[in-house]
Amino acid sequence: MAPMGIRLSPLGMAVFCLLGLGVLYHLYSGFLAGRFAFFMLSEPAAGGPEAPRSSAPAGAVDLRELLAVSVLAAVRGGEEVKRVREGNVLNEKAKGKTREGAEEKLTSGDLLSNRKMFYLLKGAFPGVQINSEEHVDAADQETVSWDRSIPEDIKKKIQPKEVPAESVTVWIDPLDATQEYTEDLRQYVTTMVCVAVNGKPVIGVIHKPFSAYTVWAMVDGGSNVKARSSYNEKTPRIIVSRSHAGKVEQVARQTFGNKTVIIPAGGAGYKVLALLDVAEKNQEEADVYIHVTYIKKWDICAGNAVLRALGGHMTTLAGEEISYTGSDGNEGGLIASINMNHKALIEKLPNLEKTSRK
């Protein structure tokens, strides 16, 4: 008797194949999903929980976010400055001399403020160049995180604006007016952050640690401060460095008359605030800010940005714009004003530019 043959119908073959494909699908999809989940969960393990990311695409920086963290950095640095001064643990020492031969001082307030400000900004925007007055010691690194929250006053006035990260330079002054700080002249002391895009100052933050007063502004954006409305261009009140008052006074009074008021003060940040309408009882008022010698860019960048945002000007004594790229120094002195004829001021004070070169 011949063996019986087994015949499978085409329908049966189709069902068998579909069942096989279904089994393979579930096996491999589960495996791939598991590998993907493992990859995503294990990625941030080297640096701990991953912080919220910027809304800007890779390689770009949102200036509104950078303004928000700059304000926070100035405040956090100011807390260190205040704590050191009130604890009277300045650990004051000399770090060198100015070109005029004056001793430059360094305190714990400078260093601790610098560390806090630098690492907060660097952690939030690692791809941005940061220039600071004080040396950053890699061995003394501090983790300072930012939750990327934006204050309501900034949200209301400033719209997001993205720029290439490589076009941005941040300038930090962790303690402006260190000389006055050591003398306990607290009203002159500020912490400052400036953001320059392609060398032009566009964000400025000036914070007064001992009164918790902060000014911020963004060019073509907005600010939390206004310019003063009353000025006297014929006999202006001119604010200058305490050590330069004599140099400026003679030339200014020859130009504007004996009624011209010269205001000696400490700190570039304080002098810029003198041109603005600020709610500070210890803040003097001036019409023009003049500096007749070499000055570092981290001293003046924030003030320059604030003035630009409000329609003011800060230039060299020869009327040239100051670029915030390259070297950290400005050779040509400066003159700053707001709601005044800046060009006319420069033309009236030609001898000051010559004085700055001496």
The pairing of strands 276-277 and 190-197 is: unpaired
**CA–CA gap between residue 226 and residue 146 (Å, rounded):** 28
In the block, tokens 């990327």 appear at 148
Is 178 a known active-site residue?
yes
Which among 107, 173, 176, 178 is annotated as catalytic? 178
**CA–CA gap between residue 358 and residue 351 (Å, rounded):** 11
> 345 in helix, strand or coil?
helix
Strands (DSSP E) along the chain, which ranges? 60-62, 93-97, 103-106, 129-132, 162-164, 168-176, 190-197, 200-208, 213-218, 222-223, 226-227, 237-241, 261-265, 276-277, 288-291, 295-296, 313-315, 329-330, 334-337
**CA–CA gap between residue 268 and residue 291 (Å, rounded):** 9
First to last CA, the chain: 125
**CA–CA gap between residue 198 and residue 194 (Å, rounded):** 13
Closest among 267, 266, 342, 263 to 298, alpha carbons compared: 267
> 20 in helix, strand or coil?
helix
**What are the backbone dihedrals phi and psi of residue 185, each rounded to the nearest 5 degrees, phi first?**
-95, 75
**What are the backbone dihedrals phi and psi of residue 225, each rounded to the nearest 5 degrees, phi first?**
-145, 160
Which among 62, 107, 110, 299 is annotated as catalytic? 110
Confirm if 243 and 225 have CB atoms less than 8 A apart.
no
Is 173 a known active-site residue?
no
Catalytically annotated residues: 110, 178
